[in-house]
Amino acid sequence: HTAHGCRHPTRPCWPMLAATLGRCGQARAVELGDQGAGSPTALPWVPIFALLTVTMSEGIIACSLFPFLPFMVEDFGLRLSDVGFFAGLLGSAYNFSQFLSGVHWGRLSDVWGRRPVLIIGVSTQAAAMVLFGLSSSLRQALLWRFLGGLLNGNTGVGRAVMRDLTDESNRTRGFALLGTAYGMGFVLGPALGGMLARPAEAFPELFGGTLLETYPY
């Protein structure tokens, strides 16, 4: 018992144990300090900016129709008592179809690459939004809104791109920017949708008698 430095064979060597643990704790603290001393890697701002633009457009597209949606459904000739139900159905079609196709677009981005999938999503969404605005019936509007979400997997693929562009030192910042961009889209979307709806009524001298009077949304 006394070979290890204990003077009292029946008493635990608490002072020596405490000193040993203290030295280990100090060494571990120095090690962690050395690991955290390096500055985070700089973000590649050119592709990051392009990705944030795509992400913000996703937020705009998702909610830009909310201010005028009840009026659009009413203009399709539905009864007033049915407007609420079909406006909700039309508003949820985009997100529901994205829910159905999101996993598949993620897999395709692993095979084809991120950029082609992002380009497909942006292109099909732009076409679907134009055709949605040209819809003359509820069925047409539902079809284009559903297809717009089904053929666009950029919400999920954008997160994968952000992971590819960052490392452990700057990933948190990158994903924070991604969330901020999507939130900005949710702010701008309803504002733009409300301001641009029925332009012939708001500015008859500019848009009266044009295509925008026939298709006001």
Distance, CA of 11 to CA of 13 (rounded, Å): 6
The rounded distance, in Å, linking the Cα atoms of 97 and 148 is 8
Q: Are residues 31 and 49 in the same domain?
A: no
Whether 57 and 135 map to the same domain: the answer is yes
Question: Does residue 125 sit in the same domain as residue 199?
Answer: yes
Say yes or no: 69 and 132 in one domain.
yes
If one counts the domains in the chain, the total is 2
Q: Are residues 30 and 111 in the same domain?
A: no
- Span 165-174, mean pLDDT? 95
Q: Are residues 18 and 56 in the same domain?
A: no
pLDDT in tens, 85-138: 999 999 999 999 999 999 999 999 999 999 999 999 999 999 999 999 999 999
Same domain, 143 and 208: yes
Residue with tokens 């392009």, as numbered in its chain: 50
Residue range of the domain that includes 13: 2-36
Q: Is the pLDDT of residue 40 over 60?
A: yes
Q: Quick check: 47 and 178 in contact, CB under 8 A? A: no
Tokens representing residue 56 in the block? 């913000």
Tell me the DSSP string of 155-208.
Answer: HHHHHHHHHHH--TTTHHHHHHHHHHHHHHHHHHHHHHHHHHSSHHHH-HHHHT
Per-residue pLDDT at 202: 86
Residue 16: the pLDDT is 53
- For residue range 43-100, what is the model confidence (pLDDT) as tens digits? 999 999 999 999 999 999 999 999 999 999 999 999 999 999 999 999 999 999 999 9
Same domain, 125 and 198: yes
Average pLDDT in the chain? 86
Do residues 31 and 71 share a domain? no
Amino acid at 148: G
Same domain, 58 and 163: yes
The verdict on 167 and 188 lying in the same domain is yes
pLDDT of residue 27: 46
Which secondary-structure segment (H or E) carries 79? none
Is pLDDT at 35 greater than 50 in this prediction? no
71 and 148 both lie in a single domain: yes
